[in-house]
Amino acid sequence: MKFNLNTLDAEDPLAAIQSQFLLPQGTIYLDGNSLGMMPLSVKSRIKDVTEQQWAVDLITSWNKHQWIDLPVNVGERIAKLIGAAPGQTLCCDTISVNLFKLLAAALVMQQGRNKVVSTTDNFPTDLYMVQGLEDLLGQTRCQLQLVEESQLASAIDDDTAILLVTEVNFRTGQKLDIAALTAKAHKHGALVIVDLAHSAGVLPVALDDWQVDFAVGCTYKYLNGGPGAPAFAYVATRHQEAMQQPLYGWMGHANGFQFDVNYQAAADARQLLVGTPSVIAMSAVDAALDVYDQVTMTQIRQKSMQLTEVFLALLSASPDCAQLRCISPESPEQRGSQLSFEFEHAWGLCQALIKSNIIADFRAPNYIRFGFAPLYNSYRQIGTAVAEMAQIMAEKRYLNPEFQVKNKVT
Ligand SMILES: *Cc1c(COP(=O)(O)O)cnc(C)c1O
């Protein structure tokens, strides 16, 4: 692969977008897959929401500034990025809580079946949600069946109630074929719940076309909504009448402001709502989505693949980095927007990089993970990051005592 980093930056159709983010001086941020950088639009929006809407307009803002419609309005903006027609996507709660609601609802729809098939390597909270339902309902109603990722398709059979699958593996970056898995699940009468945590905002997703039944995803990773920003949930129109999720909250009531003593679910996707939306956080998500009005998911995907290819090419040209074993798929089509490497001293390497203002993250037991955010990462940054990493490897700086101290959050 022959390339010139300056030319790649000069010809990058997304290069101008970088200036819409707050970029800390000297920092190369390769962690947008854990917490996206802050779009400048968020800064001004938060100022308005706190200093005008909350401080001055107070409770009238629920109507005046449409606070009450944020879950639906922000949900619809996310819907456009995940191939969902209107009326199916809401912004609310966290991935974990949304999964609980959807898993429970899907189990009710699958009377007579109890198996929830997922992968050993799925993000733990996804599996914990199934385990919690298992303990609550008993194994006759819910039973988690874990298989290796490569065995997922063949594990689906006529006993499968739900296929719970994350499109992009958070450790390896392996991207699964959701359309094919969904087709297979449906052939056997199973329902599909897809986790888009590492897809939303960085990969073209086509939930409606793929015929996915339910989906969840978060907004603080590639969508840059801010730390702890509310997640999203999707329920296909065809299931909205039959479904019943167990967290009966007044926001999911057909008529919450009637303050009726009895619960009656909204007939549409809004039944997924539970309590009062987190207005400040959700306003931040709304503002963060503005940048997506100026770009296409195809542009983002192309740059994402190119960034990872450049990173790998530079790395393989450096003998000092030979000890880093890439655990992500070789083909850019088969991975998300990240690269992960196994290395005995991955923790120390990650800390040494952070000391040099190159932010990556560590995943137990010994992986270093780089996330590539096409909206604000440049090709030159990739060059600088790999050069610094080669230097650290050559000097074995990852062994320095100061880089051995473990933090609470990795
Ligand atoms: C980041 C991530 C989550 C986080 O879930 P929250 O409940 O929003 O904290 C869940 N699943 C996957 C696959 C993730 O990558």
H-only helix segments in 219-345: 279-288, 297-316
**How far is the C-alpha of 91 from the C-alpha of 71, rounded, in Å?**
5
Contact indicator for 285, 226 with CB cutoff of 8 Å: yes
Contact indicator for 142, 131 with CB cutoff of 8 Å: no
Q: Is 123 a catalytic residue?
A: yes
Give the pLDDT score at 188: 98
What are the pLDDT tens digits along the chain (410 aa)? 678 999 999 999 999 999 999 999 999 999 999 999 999 999 999 999 999 999 999 999 999 999 999 999 999 999 999 999 999 999 999 999 999 999 999 999 999 999 999 999 999 999 999 999 999 999 999 999 999 999 999 999 999 999 999 999 999 999 999 999 999 999 999 999 999 999 999 999 999 999 999 999 999 999 999 999 999 999 999 999 999 999 999 999 999 999 999 999 999 999 999 999 999 999 999 999 999 999 999 999 999 999 999 999 999 999 999 999 999 999 999 999 999 999 999 999 999 999 999 999 999 999 999 999 999 999 999 999 999 999 999 999 999 999 998 888 87
CATH number listed for the domain at residues 5-30+296-403:
3.90.1150.10
pTM: 0.97
How many other CB atoms sit within 10 Å of the CB of residue 157? 12
Rounded to the nearest angstrom, the distance between the alpha carbon of 392 and the centre of ligand 1 is 31
**317-328 per-position pLDDT tens digit:** 999 999 999 999
Architecture category of domain 47-293 in CATH:
3-Layer(aba) Sandwich (3.40)
Selecting among 29, 220, 222, 398, the annotated active-site residue is 220
Selecting among 175, 270, 335, 369, the annotated active-site residue is 369
**How far is the C-alpha of 160 from the C-alpha of 175, rounded, in Å?**
22
Mean pLDDT of the chain: 97
Question: Taking phi first (over 0 means left), then psi (-120 to 50 degrees means alpha), and beta for anything else, what does residue 11 get?
Answer: alpha
Rounded to the nearest angstrom, the distance between the alpha carbon of 98 and the centre of ligand 1 is 10
Q: What pairing do the DSSP bridges indicate for beta strands 367-371 and 361-363?
A: antiparallel
Ligand 1: list residues with CB < 6 Å.
Answer: 94-96, 123, 125-126, 166, 170, 195, 197-198, 218, 231
CA torsion sign for 341, 346, 349, 351 is positive
Strands (E) in 182-286, as ranges, are: 191-195, 214-217, 232-235
Rounded to the nearest angstrom, the distance between the alpha carbon of 15 and the centre of ligand 1 is 29
Domain boundaries, the chain: 5-30+296-403, 47-293
Give the pLDDT score at 14: 98
How many other CB atoms sit within 10 Å of the CB of residue 306? 18
**236-293 per-position pLDDT tens digit:** 999 999 999 999 999 999 999 999 999 999 999 999 999 999 999 999 999 999 999 9
Give the pLDDT score at 8: 98
282: closest CA among 82, 86, 18, 93? 93
